[in-house]
Structure 1
């Protein structure tokens, strides 16, 4: 079953040392990746639409209201 905008997870970037492609205070979509998580990383989708691994400490997980999730998904 395809994921809908309402069951996706999001993070906010709070640091970007050595990762200039990340924008602090920007919301990114989080993709599940257990292996990455075990190693202290998260997989996020950037502006290009591609997913990349970044240090987990660079992000804070956020729960967006349903309306905000739909708006973020529509802008991707």
Structure 2
């Protein structure tokens, strides 16, 4: 399980980043794609692709990651 923290929520192209909260922790679904995008569940509760450059990856202990995953998927 990978987790990232939102560091920026500026608009990008035709897309809005209004559904991201700076400083909030998000779980990454899958890997970074060929276009530098990552899939996360944003503040709407839906999963969307966002540019990976808006986030910083954080290292979290395995047991904490499992607990966070359970919380995020309720």
TM-score tier, shorter chain, comes to 0.7 to 0.9
**TM-score under structure 2 normalisation?**
0.74
CA RMSD of aligned residues (A): 1.7
Normalised to the residue count of structure 1, the TM-score between the two structures is 0.73
Of 9, 18, 38 in structure 2, the residue corresponding to residue 16 of structure 1 is 9
Consecutive unaligned residues in structure 1, runs of 5 or more: 1-7
Which 4+ residue blocks in structure 1 deviate beyond 3 angstroms?
none
8 Å CA contact 2:39, 2:48 repeated in 1: yes
More helix by share: 1
